[in-house]
Amino acid sequence: MQLKIDILDIDYKVLENFVPDPSAWAKEKLQADINSFANKIINQTQAAALADPKIDSIPADRDKLLEMAFSAKGYISAVDRAASEKKLAAEEANKQAKIAADDAKEKTKAAKVAKEIADNTADGVKNLDKSEKS
């Protein structure tokens, strides 16, 4: 897999000021983070496997341990978690928007009813005034 990043020219010049090969430096930094993340996953996977009486063997190979983690029941990547959270947030926003729209409709209905009552009351007062004058 290939990753491509875009940075500003000025930022590249900043890197060139400190490192002789910015592309190699970026690759090394990324690989160091990947190794750190992989070690965390491996440690968690080994601990979970040791605690699970259903598992009778644990791979000694790094990639196999990682595959074991990624194929574990309930595994969700950060990408999937973020997408799920974004979907839930959108659903909640839609729900709140519907509630607000429904509330606005109810307030409009209430205002119409109040106006109708006021109009009817005013008409009643006029009629009462007319009948009192007669």
Instruction: Tell me the per-residue pLDDT of 90-127, one tens digit each, with 9 for 90 and over.
Output: 989 988 988 888 888 888 888 888 888 888 887 766 76
- Domain of 24 in residue numbering reads as 1-75
- Our count of domains for the chain comes to 2
The reported pLDDT for the residue numbered 122 is 74
Same domain, 55 and 84: no
Mean pLDDT calculated for residue range 67-96: 92
Q: Identify whether residues 86 and 65 lie together within a single domain.
A: no
Q: Could you tell me if 58 and 83 lie in one domain?
A: no
Residue with tokens 């010049």: 13
Mean pLDDT of the chain: 90
The predicted model gives 11-23 an average pLDDT of 96
Question: CA 52, CA 134: separation in Å to the nearest integer?
Answer: 96
**pLDDT tens digits, 37-63:** 999 999 999 999 999 999 999 999 999
Q: Are residues 52 and 107 in the same domain?
A: no
CA dist 7 and 12 (Å) reads: 7
8-41 per-residue burial string, b: 16 or more CB within 10 A, e: under 16: eeeeeeeeeeeeeebeeeeeeeeeeeeeeeeeeb
Q: What is the model's pLDDT at position 46?
A: 95
Q: What is the pLDDT of residue 132?
A: 66
Give me the pLDDT at residue 129, please.
66
* Same-domain pairing of 59 and 108: no
What's the rounded Cα separation, in Å, for the pair 99 and 41? 42
Tokens of 84: 């799920």
